[in-house]
Amino acid sequence: MLPDSQILLDLVSVKMPFGKFSGVVLCNLPVSYLEWFNRKGFPKGKLGMQLQTIYEIKLNGLEYLLQPLKGK
């Protein structure tokens, strides 16, 4: 598996570690929360990259790409 595919797998399995939506799987975070991060700044490191990625996916209507991965 390519490293890029691991990013997508993480989006359907990793849970938000803090804040209002602590414990929610990243792909299930509401767009409004991701928009807030986009305005205020995403966290540093891997989590920030994951949040930016799911934001771009939702912004561009590409959530359907994650559907096949949710069962893995």
Average pLDDT per 10 consecutive residues for the chain, totaling 72 residues: 75 96 97 97 96 96 90 67
Which stretch of DSSP H or E encloses residue 3?
Answer: helix 3-11
Helix, strand or coil for residue 45?
helix
Per-residue model confidence (pLDDT) at position 72: 60
**Residue 1, pLDDT score:** 46
The predicted pLDDT at position 45 comes to 96
Burial class (CB in 10 A: 0-12, 13-18, 19+), 42: middle
In sequence order, which residues have a C-beta less than 8 Å from that of residue 6 and are 6 or more positions away? none
